[in-house]
Amino acid sequence: MSEPLEQDLPADALAAAEVIRAALDQGGIDWEEPSGGTFDVVLPGERKLKTPVRLQVGSHALAVHAFVCRRPDENHEVVYRWLLERNLKMFAMAFAVDHHGDIFLDSRLPLGVVTPDEVDRLLGSVLSYADESFNTILELGFASAIRKEWDWRRANGESTANLEAFRGWLETS
């Protein structure tokens, strides 16, 4: 059950929230509305198995926030530079980091452009960018931990199935 939007929100914010509800339902996406105009969804991916996304309707804009990865263990400058370079090629979304160094995808759109097609396009962009970037972020920012896990699993006869994406550089280094 959701709480109603604040009564002082403009009509276009109320309309945008209705558009988002309809678009999420039409897309067959499981979603929750923890408070009026705030929508939480989890998008399933192939490399990044789950991407949590929050859509938040404000007085003037729709904000989209998606968690991609926790703060890298190493090579912070390399990871963050790679993300900034990716931003130059992206539609409607940008990588960002919070005060902890955790990595997010973020966007703000005027309420007037919130349509079912645009909600679908935004969520598709989030899913695509999170999924396509995930292994590179792990390789750049967590290589030592991945190497350590690979070595331990092989030494102990454990499955390395969830590390297959990294086999190439793990076996050559």
Each residue's pLDDT tens digit, 72-120: 999 999 999 999 999 999 999 999 999 999 999 999 999 999 999 999 9
pLDDT by residue (tens digit) across 26-66? 999 999 999 989 999 999 999 999 999 999 999 999 999 99
Would the pLDDT of 126 be above 70? yes
Over range 5-24, report the average pLDDT: 86
pLDDT of residue 2: 47
- CATH of span 11-141: 3.30.1460.10
> Amino acid identity, residue 94?
A
- The torsion angle over the Cα atoms of residues 50, 36, 20 and 97, rounded to 10 degrees, is -40
Kindly report each contact of residues 39-45 with a partner whose C-beta sits within 8 Å and lies 24 or more positions away, as own/partner: 41/123, 43/123, 43/126, 43/127, 43/130, 45/127, 45/130, 45/131, 45/134
